[in-house]
Amino acid sequence: MNDFFHMGGYAVYVWSSYGIALLVLLANVIAPVRARRKLLSQLARSKQRARRMQR
Amino acid sequence: MLRFFHQLASPRHFYRISGKLIPWLALACLVFTLTGVYQGLVVAPTDYQQGDSYRIMFIHVPAAWMSLFIYMVMAAAGVIGLVWHIKLAEIVAISSAHIGASFTFLALITGSIWGKPMWGTWWVWDARLTSELILLFLYLGVIALYNAVEDRRTAARATSILALVGVVNIPIIHYSVEWWNTLHQGPTVTKFDAPSIDLRMLIPLLLMAVAFKIFYAVVLLLRARVEVLQRERNSAWVQELVKEHE
Amino acid sequence: MKPATLPQAFAILLRRDLTLAYRRRSEMINPLLFFVLVTALFPLGIGADPELLRNIGPGIIWVAALLASLLSLETVFRSDFDDGSLEQLLLSPHPLSVLMIAKVLAHWLITGLPLLVVAPLLAVLLNLSGDATATLLITLALGTPVLSLIGAIGVALTVGLRKGGTILSLLVLPLYVPVLIFAASAVANSDAGLPVNAHLSLLAALLVLSISLSPAATAASLRISMS
């Protein structure tokens, strides 16, 4: 098991590569999910505002 | 069949269908990634020349493939959008730009990290790394242009043209950089193409390539959904959706 | 009045642009000065060893040419956009891509050709051989039109934008890479006494390719950004 994490002496390079890959992929998923949520609540707020204006 | 595609092109149905599709695709992506990483890090044997450092390849090479593939998809979608005025194609084109840029970035970073133990420096003006760098600038140009133009439709059409110009230029750039490289550094044996590759190394490579392709599809759908909502914000079905969200 | 035929329209547009440029000649000289100045800065920055300068000279001159051409690009459509004549151009019955060739040709005559005139002077400053200087002129003659043609697409895409200038360099410079590579290595080769036919043929091929494709792309971009 230790051998596995050691990666024949290349641990820093291999694990940092996989780590960075994970971060980049995660960021790609999170960005649109957050953007969608933000947009929906923004639309909801402008709708409420429009409703208040009508009254 | 035709009717299915016709429906898909309408923003509302696209939003509905993609919402159902995403969980399944995400699951498939996860399965492929996990088996790919397991095969790549555990099952694949240590390379007799590069030791374990070659395992970076399972990220680097699929990412580099994706960087080119996504550019092609972006340009193709751009052409479809320009010729047939299909909104969804425009959305696919511009949503691809960000994903493509991040895969290019990933290919560059992992290539550089791989280069450190191989060449002793973080950066070598290797032909492929240099091509990737220029590709990254092409992507950034597309994104910058899209952000600079205010009207979304105009922006999408302008970036489609730019992507098309880029696609014509990519082979020329690639060829010229390769040529320049052999000229200045002498023919070096590049570490990226092994003439014959062990099957146990090939399998994780292909698994990761498929995983990245599905990942692209997932993120593309996620991004396209946000674009669709933004463009259709005043339509009845989005208002309906907002009501559910409240 | 009879409407102008296509060759007439082409000639009129060309003459108009050249006349306008002649009236603003002090403005037109700036990119040229920039070209000379940037090249002259390099020896100050890295030392004046003749052998060193000779090695990096071709690259420096070509990078400076790239930047100078980039600097002058914005003038292709800016004044036309400001005074509204660009919209008139779009309404013309003639094919817009042919008119674009006239625009780019005028722009190249104003900003590209002068680079060829001062290039021998820079070759002397950077200690290039006579052969290399001749090759430099040929590469500039073949390469700078390509820069103008590709650049025109970028300008057409950014013409109405407030921040157009900064984006333009990001759009256009990556596309300039092949020209830079072929041209600079041609000059370096001829300085080393090696054959340069292949380089020059490739540059000529780039020129043919960009003449045939770029005007249509420029026209399409212009229609989109003016819509």
Largest separation between any pair of C-alpha atoms in chain C: 65
The interface pTM score, or ipTM, of the predicted complex is 0.88
C174 to chain B: which residues are within 8 Å by CB?
134, 137-138, 141, 169, 173
Q: Are C151 and C73 in contact (CB under 8 A)?
A: yes
The pair of structure tokens assigned to B7 is 């429906």
What is the token pair recorded at C76? 């292709």
Closest Cα in chain B, distance from residue C175 (Å): 7
What Cα–Cα distance (Å) separates residue C112 from each residue in B228, C22, C28, C69, C170? 45, 15, 11, 7, 21
Taking alpha carbons only, the member of C60, C64, C54 closest to residue C191 is C54
Alpha-helix residue ranges (DSSP H) falling in C74-192 = 78-83, 85-91, 96-107, 113-125, 130-158, 164-191
B52 and A43 within 8 Å at the Cβ level: the answer is no
pLDDT at res. B189: 43
Please name the helix (run of DSSP H) or strand (run of DSSP E) that holds residue B168, with its range, or none.
helix B152-185
Q: Do chains C and A touch (3 or more CB pairs under 8 A)?
A: no
CB pair distance less than 8 Å for B238 and A41: no
pLDDT in tens, B110-160: 988 888 888 788 888 888 888 899 999 999 999 999 988 888 888 889 999
Q: How many Å lie between the alpha carbon of B46 and the closest alpha carbon of chain A?
A: 9
- List the single residue in C164, C206, C224 with the smallest CB-CB distance to B154: C224
Using only the alpha carbons of chain A, give its radius of gyration: 23
What residues pair up with B51 in beta bridges, in sequence order?
B47
Q: Which residue has the tokens 């990119």?
A: C31
Residue C206 Cα to chain centre, angstroms: 13
Q: In 3-state terms, chain A is what percent helix, strand and coil (to 5)?
A: 95, 0, 5
pTM of the model: 0.89
Chain B neighbours (≥3 Cβ pairs under 8 A) are A, C
* HSE, side-chain direction, 13 A CA sphere, residue B59: 34
- H or E element in which residue B173 lies: helix B152-185
C72-105: per-residue pLDDT in tens?
Answer: 888 888 888 888 888 888 888 888 888 899 899 9
pLDDT tens sequence across A38-54:
988 888 888 888 888 87
User: For residue C197, how far is the Cα from the chain centroid?
Assistant: 22
Chain A positions contacting chain B at CB under 8 Å are 4, 7-10, 13-14, 16-18, 20-21, 24-25, 27-29, 31-33, 35-36, 39-41, 43-44, 47
